[in-house]
Amino acid sequence: SRAKPLYAYLQVYNLVKDANRSAAYTAKFTIAPRDNPDEPTVLAEVKRDLSDETTRSEFQMLDIRGVSPGKYILSVAVTDRKRVETVIRSREIEITK
């Protein structure tokens, strides 16, 4: 329902550490109409700098009040900023009134 936030949970692991033993990543949450996935809307973007960790859990509350009811593709793109590599995972969802 658009009246409630959409919650996303992900785990990031095997991040590369730099010479200072720190890791960093960016997670970008987007939503796009299933029929037109080439026009995504960014719902949230978080940047994390980690010290001495290569694994992290991310729990994000996404505001979908401005999204019309329908079927969508929810995607999360995680970029390991030390490795400069991005992994994207997507899932189809349906949003109701």
3-state secondary structure 32-94: EECCCCCCCEEEEEEEEEEECCCCEEEEEEECCCCCCCEEEEEEEEEEECCCCEEEEEEEEEE
pLDDT score of 52? 80
In tens digits, the chain (97 residues) has pLDDT values of 899 999 999 999 999 999 999 999 999 999 999 999 998 999 999 999 999 888 999 999 999 999 999 999 999 999 999 999 999 999 999 999 8
Model pTM?
0.92
At 9, which helix (H) or strand (E)? strand 6-12
